[in-house]
Amino acid sequence: MRAVIFWLDLISASLNRVALWGAVLTVAALVLIAFWQAAARYLLDQPPAWTEELARYLMVWAGLLGASCAFRIHADPSLFPDARKREDGIGRLFAVIRAIGALIFVTPILWYCLYGLNGKVTSGYIARNARVSAETLDIPMSIFAIAIPVGFGLILLHLLANLGTALMRREAD
């Protein structure tokens, strides 16, 4: 069991680094796009239509990747931040309660990204967005919609790694 948790934590940490770089790069792209939008609007008097739309979609990617990174390092909002420091039975209970709370939030989001209300993949959020193109960018909306299951999937992975690490560390004491 320790080997599984070790690998889960290693995968979580590796994907967290990728997500952090993704969040940083999307924020950098947002800044460049906003600069170009402002320069084109006020200096050239010809603002491109695609910059606003692309900035919105990049903001979603940056926010979800950043949220998964914040969850991994426990920088997310918490009612009882000192509960994570406890290493006794109560600390283990707090870790399980936190995991249950996060699962209650994450699992329906992931489910409905993949499946629709009728339980079919073809009516899920991603599938519905694959049939629609962005207004000014001639690409399928699923490229942007996939940010939701990626971000929440990372949160789920971090959740499992954090819970396993917390329970194993506390068992060893």
Q: What does the alpha-carbon distance between residue 154 and residue 144 come to, in Å, rounded to a whole number?
A: 16
Q: 79 vs 2, which has greater pLDDT?
A: 2
- In the prediction, which pLDDT does 70 show? 94
pLDDT of residue 112: 94
DSSP 59-92: HHHHHHHHHHHHHHTT-S--S-GGGGG--SHHHH
pLDDT at 151: 96
Mean pLDDT of the chain: 89
Asked if 141 contacts 129 with a C-beta cutoff of 8 angstroms, the reply is: yes
Sign of CA dihedral 86, 89, 90, 92: positive
pLDDT in tens, 84-122: 777 777 778 888 988 999 999 999 999 999 998 898 988
Domain count, the chain: 1
Q: What is the pLDDT of residues 38-54, one digit of tens each?
A: 999 898 888 888 888 89
Instruction: Output the pLDDT for position 18.
Output: 97
* Parent domain of 29: 2-172
